[in-house]
Structure 1
Amino acid sequence: MTAVKFDNVTLAIAGRNILSGVSLAIEAQEFVGLLGPNGAGKTTLLRAIMGLVPAASGRISVFGDAAARGNPAIGYMPQLRGNTDALRLNGRDFVASVVNGHRLGLPILSRAARADVERVLDLVEAQDLAKRPLLEMSGGERQRLLLAQALIGSPRLLLLDEPLISLDPKRQRAVVALVKRVQSALAIPVVFSSHELNPLLGTLDKVMYLGNGHAAIGSVSEVVTGPVLSRLYGAPITVVCLGGKIFVLSGEYEVEGDAHRHEHDHAAV
C-alpha cells in the first residue's frame, strides 16, 4: 500500500512557493532518505505530510486519506533542540511526557500506556537510559529517546527531521543503524531527512532530493547524478564516487559537507 502520495502538490509559506507541482509516492516498508540544500523545503515537506502545512494546490494523502493534523498513523522525530525543563527529566519520564501529546507536565499513565513506554524503550535499546537525567546524556543517547517518543502509539509511518545534526560520524552511523533495525522490526516506511547522503548509503531503498522548488525520487543511482542534481540546485553539479562514498560538488565546493558543517556550527551556538 502507498504510504504517502503527493499529486501535483505546491507548498507555499508566506506567499512564497517552497515546492511547486511535486508528484511522488512512498510505498509501504520503504526507507527513504530526504536530502537537499538549506532552504530546499525538507522540513516543510515533512510538516505537510503531518497536515501542518496545507497544500496550496494538489493533494497529499497518507495511507489513502487526506493529510491531516494529529494523524496517529505518523510518528515524528523533531530536530534535537535544547530544552531546560526536559533536561531535568530522566529517560523514562521524557518518553512518557508525550503519551498524551507534547504538553507541559507529566501525564498520569494507564497500565497500557506504561507498557507502551517500556515497549519503545526496549525497541530503541534505551532501558539503560530510563533512570538517567537527560542532562547527563550525549547527543546520541538523547536521539534514541526522541526516537522512542516518535514510536509511542505504534505509528505506521516514521518521519525523522535531521537526526544526524551535531553528531560525530560514529554516532551518526549508530543512529542510522538503530533506525534501520526499528524499521525492519516494525515493517513500516521511514522518511529520514539529512544534509548528507553518505551516512545513509547501504540503508536506503530510495532517495528523495529537493531543490529549486522541485523534487526527484528514485534509487541513489537514478537521482544522485550530475544532470538531476544540476537541475535541482540550479547550478552545474558533479557527482564523484570515491572509496564507497559519494561527493556532490559545485566546482571545488562540496555542497553537502559544507551544508552539514554550517548546520552543526549553528546548532552548537
Structure 2
Amino acid sequence: MASVPQARQSGPAGGAAAISLRGAALSYGDRTVWSGLELDVHPGEFVAVLGPNGAGKTSLVRALLGRQPLSAGTLTVLGRPPRTASRDIGYIPQQATLSAQAMLRARDLVRFGIDGHRFGPRLRTTGVRHRVDQILESVGASAYADVPLGLLSGGERQRVRIGQALAGDPRILLCDEPLLSLDLHHQRAVTELIDARRCSHDTAVVFVTHEINPVLGLADRVLYLAGGGHRVGTPEQVLTSESLSALYGTQVDVVRVHGRVVVVGAPDEPATPPHHPNETREADGVRS
C-alpha cells in the first residue's frame, strides 16, 4: 500500500480569503441541497469536499466557476462574484470517456489552458510552444505530448488535465473527483502534483473526492456535505462518529485502520432530479 504524503507543517497563508461563502444555499426546486454554508478558503489552503451521492459537491464547484447561481447567500471568488472563463481559476473536471479516435493531442489541451479564452485564431509562436513544453514537463507528460488523448491511460490524461489547469498560472485550483478510476499509483501522482502547486505558489485548492484517504495527509480542512447540512473543520474534527452521526441523523461509525479512514453506515442521499445530471455523476461517500 502506498504511503500517504505528509501535510504541510505550516498553516494556510493569511490575508484575504480566496473564496468566501456567507449563508450560502443551493436548491433544486423544493429540494435544498445545502444551506447556511459559511466557508473561507485562504491562499495555500487545501480543502477536501466530501459527501454522498447527490449531496451537492459538484454543484459547489459549478457555483465557484460561476456556472451555478446560489439560491441564497453570497459567494465571492478573489473578492468578486464568480465568473466563467477566469484565468485565476484552474479547473480539473471529472474524467470523461474518450474515443480512441479522439485526435486532440496532449499539447493541444494544455495550449487551450494558455490561450483558449481568446477570440480569433491562436498564434503559433515559439514562446507559446516553449511554455506548453515546460508545463508538460512539470506534470511528467512530455513523453506523450503529441499522443491523441483518446490513446492515453486515465492517469496520463489526468496529468495533462492538471497541466491545462496550471497553464494560466491560477490562484485557485478546483478539482472535481480527479482521482476517479485511477489506481493507487496514479492517485498518489495526481495528488502530489496538485499539492506541489499549492505549496510552491500558495494556490488555494478545493478538492472534491469520494475517497479521503489519498488526501488525508494533505487536507487542512474538510467540508462534509450531507442531508442538506454540512460540517467544516479539520479532518480530526469532522471525520468522527459523533460528528457524522449528528450530520446524517443516524448512527454512523468512523473507523481508523492503519492510518486509513472508513465510514460505515452512512446512508445514500436521494438522487438529484434528472434535469441536473452533474449531481447524479457524483460517487458515494467516503470509503476505503
Structure-2-length-normalised TM-score: 0.80
C-alpha distance in 2 between matches for 1:49 and 1:86: 33
Q: In structure 2, what is the Cα distance between the partners aligned to 1:181 and 1:60?
A: 27
Tell me the equivalent position of 2:103. Answer: 88
The structure carrying a bigger helix percent of its residues is: 1
Counterpart-to-counterpart distance in 2, 1:181 and 1:18: 33
Give the 3 Å change call, closer, same or farther, for CA 221–110 of structure 1 in structure 2: same
Q: Would the aligned equivalents of 2:173 and 2:205 in 1 still touch at CA under 8 Å? A: yes
1:186 pairs with 2:191: no
Give the superposed CA RMSD. 2.7
1:124 aligns with 2:139: yes
Give the distance between the partners of 2:101 and 2:82, measured in 1 at CA.
30
Task: Say whether residues 1:245 and 2:260 are aligned partners.
Answer: yes
Gaps of 5+ in 2: 1-15, 270-281
What residue number does 2:27 align with?
A: 12
| Map 1:23-102 → 2, pairs under 5 A | 23-84=38-99, 87-101=102-116
- 180-189 vs 3-12, which deviates more? 180-189
Further displaced range: 41-50 or 225-234:
225-234
**TM superposition shift of 1:97:** 3.4
1:202-249 alpha-carbon deviations (Å, 9 max, x no partner): 111111111111222211101111122123333211111111111111
Tell me, yes or no, if the aligned pair for 1:33 and 1:191 is still in contact at 8 Å: yes
For residues 244 and 10 of structure 1, the distance between their equivalents in structure 2, rounded to whole angstroms, comes to 34
**In 2, distance between residues paired with 1:45 and 1:179?**
19
Structure 1 residues 241 and 61 mapped into 2: Cα distance closer, same or farther (>3 Å)?
same
Deviation at 1:85, TM superposition (A): 8.5
Partner of 2:218: 203
SS for the counterpart of 2:18 is strand
Aligned pairs, number:
256
Any idea what SS the aligned residue of 1:183 has?
helix
Deviation per CA, 1:4-41: give whole Å up to 9, x if none: 11100111234532111111111110011111111111
Percentage of identical aligned residues? 39
- In structure 2, the CA distance between the partners of 1:9 and 1:191, relative to structure 1 (3 Å rule), is same
Which stretches in structure 1 are left out of the alignment for 5+ residues? 256-261, 265-269
